[in-house]
Amino acid sequence: MTTLKSRLFKGYFYLLLLLSAFVFNACTQSQSKNTGNSKYMKDHSKTKVFGEMVAELTSPPLVPPPVGNRPAMKLYMEMEIIEEEMEMSNGVSYVYWTFGGTVPGSFIRARVGDEVEFTIKNHPNNKLPHNIDLHAVTGQGGGAEASFVAPGHEKTFSFKLINPGLFVYHCATAPVGMHIANGMYGLILVEPEGGLPPVDKEFYVMQGDFYTEGKFGDPGLQPFDMQKAYDERPDYVVFNGSVNALSGENALQAKAGETIRIFFGNGGPNLASSFHVIGEIFDKVYVDGGDQINYNVGTTLIPAGGAAILEFKAEVPSNLVLVDHSIFRAFNKGALGIISVTGEENKKIFAGEIMEGIYMPEGGTIQKMPKDGNAVKQPVSLTKSELIESGKKIYMQACFACHQANGEGVANAFPPLAKADFLNADENRAIDVLLHGLSGEITVNGKKYNSIMPSQQLSDSEVAAVLTYVYNSWGNKGSEITPEMVSKRRK
């Protein structure tokens, strides 16, 4: 009997162990499936290479062709460091330090297991030594020590890519922050075995913060300001190196129905990015450029020195606006770009405006003043100086957010009112814009703008006042707009 009990106990004990092992294995497999860890546990330092090729590097916003299902290979790469003056914004230039002559630097695309022989050249006209730290590289300084190179010299070093993902690279020569702040950063994509799933369009976008002696928009060549960099007070926060890099003629192009992948990096050197595309939702976000995927994301956080892969389908035609949703950076410091999506409308997804009505919060039966109360005073005629004073108050309440307190507008988004040829050419047109709104492309002071100005719910006197203020500010022609002029246009 004792032996039977002992056997039953042992059998029960082993059954518990078996069940525990089964549950543990199931949980482990589930976790591996959910996180994708299984394919990253492989030791790619031992992956064999088959053949060799010269890697194609591309300037932003372009990316090289996908790796696909090719085996690991030996890749040869070359990159030249160039210090040169380029445009930061309209009328503003800056001496950028660049990898490959662009900010961000050339896009590098490889696959896990590749062996890379990398040659970096420092142009003889440059003034400073530089190097490259690739976050994708396992080794001393990410290659920084091996790549330190003086002007007129070149260095070659090698490494093996053993972790898949999207990684930042940057200069790591002292002072490191200054080299990065001057534009020395880019992205390297290490695709997993088998490559990434195919999409219709791929774009390369990086954010960076720049520190200039002059304020945003101050014309001329702007030197770097180290104190502002210390204090983390950038004058410009931009995509792909300049205010205009991804808008106007440089807007990215896609068609409705296409799937889009953005390789997004943040060069910093200081600020994190709250990246958002106005008018779309990210179907997938590869968090930190790694294997964890978040679905259905509106805004994603990318730290300085970090990256993310973002995928979505452009469902309907529109101008999708790329922004840092730390929103003053977008509309006041330059972190703004456009993906122009053309094609057939889909009104099941977006029908646009379907009606316009009058909003009466008090209800439709009490919109008239009581007859037995105080009589409503007729508007008093104001002098020109009184119109200007009144108009300034209205402007600061309703207009300055888009057109700025000094009338300079926002580059590539809202046109300037200061010395504005569009405004000064036609007073009646200016009145019509306030009364009825304006949409479509216009040209102001030689620059094209394509945004929407909604109609303003202002009285004739208020329209007259704010326009008189604008016409008598910032170098405009000094016109006086009267309520009678507005009333005539309204009719």
* Residue 161 host element (H or E): none
Q: Do domains 52-219+229-342 and 384-490 have the same CATH topology?
A: no
Angle formed at CA 95 by CA 262 and CA 93, multiple of 5 degrees = 85
Residue 37 near residue 180, CB atoms below 8 Å: no
Distance CA 152, CA 127 (A): 10
- Buried/exposed 126-150: b ≥16 CB within 10 Å, e otherwise: beeebbbbbbbbeeeebbbebbbbe
Task: Identify whether the C-beta of residue 321 lies closer than 8 Å to the C-beta of residue 410.
Answer: no
In this predicted structure, what is the pLDDT of residue 393? 86
Helix axes 427-436 and 460-471, enclosed angle (nearest 10): 130
User: Taking CA 197 as the corner, what is the angle to CA 195 and CA 202, rounded to the nearest 5 degrees?
Assistant: 95
Helix axes 384-398, 460-471, angle to 10 degrees: 100
Name residue, tokens 């994190």: 272
What is the per-residue pLDDT for 192? 96
- Strands across the sheet with 185-191, in order? 108-111, 185-191, 165-170, 133-134
Q: SS3 letters for 164-186?
A: CEEEEEECCCCCHHHHHHCCCEE
DSSP characters over 422-490? HHHT-HHHHHHHHHH-EEEEEEETTEEEEEEEPPP---HHHHHHHHHHHHTSTT-------HHHHHHHH
3-class secondary structure, 352? coil
Residue-wise pLDDT tens for the chain (491 aa)? 445 455 545 555 444 544 544 444 444 444 434 444 545 578 899 899 999 999 999 999 999 999 999 999 999 999 999 999 999 998 999 999 999 999 999 999 999 999 999 999 999 999 999 999 999 999 999 999 999 999 999 999 999 999 999 999 999 999 999 999 999 999 999 999 999 999 999 999 999 999 999 999 899 999 999 999 999 999 999 999 999 899 888 999 999 999 999 999 999 999 999 999 999 999 999 999 999 999 999 999 999 999 999 999 999 999 999 999 999 999 889 999 999 999 999 999 998 877 656 555 555 444 444 444 444 344 457 899 999 999 888 887 778 778 887 888 877 678 999 999 999 999 999 999 988 888 778 999 998 887 777 778 788 999 999 999 999 999 999 999 999 999 999 88
Which positions ≥6 away from 338 have C-beta within 8 Å?
A: 246, 247, 248, 251, 252, 319, 320, 321, 322, 412
In this prediction the pTM is 0.74
Domain locations in the chain as residue ranges: 52-219+229-342, 384-490
Query: Which value, in Å, is the radius of gyration of the alpha carbons in the chain?
Result: 30
Helix, strand, coil percentages, rounded to 5, for the chain:
25, 30, 45
Contact call for residues 464 and 489 (beta carbons, < 8 A): no
Beta bridge partner(s), residue 167: 188
User: Cα separation of 99 and 76, whole Å?
Assistant: 16
Show Cβ contacts of residue 19 under 8 Å, excluding neighbours closer than 6 positions: none
Given this model, what pLDDT does residue 474 score?
93
Q: In whole angstroms, what is the distance from residue 155 CA to residue 144 CA?
A: 11
| Tokens describing residue 108 | 């590098």
Beta bridge partners, 389, equal: none
CATH architecture of 52-219+229-342: Sandwich (2.60)
Give the Cβ contact number of residue 445 at 10 Å. Answer: 14
Give the Cα separation of 295 and 286 in Å (integer).
Answer: 9
State how far the Cα of 185 lies from the Cα of 307, in Å rounded to an integer. Answer: 12
- Strands 336-342 and 318-324 turn out to be antiparallel
Rounded to 5 degrees, what angle do the CA atoms 484, 490, 491 make? 95
pLDDT, residue 12, reads 52
pLDDT of residue 352: 80
Please name every residue paired with 310 in a beta bridge, in sequence order, or none if there are none: 262, 285
For the domain made up of 384-490, the CATH class stated in words is: mainly alpha
pLDDT value for 4: 46
CA distances in angstroms from 143 to 46, 49, 116, 140, 346, listed in the order given: 20, 21, 12, 6, 50
Q: Cβ-count burial of 336 within 10 angstroms (0-12 exposed, 13-18 middle, 19+ buried)?
A: buried
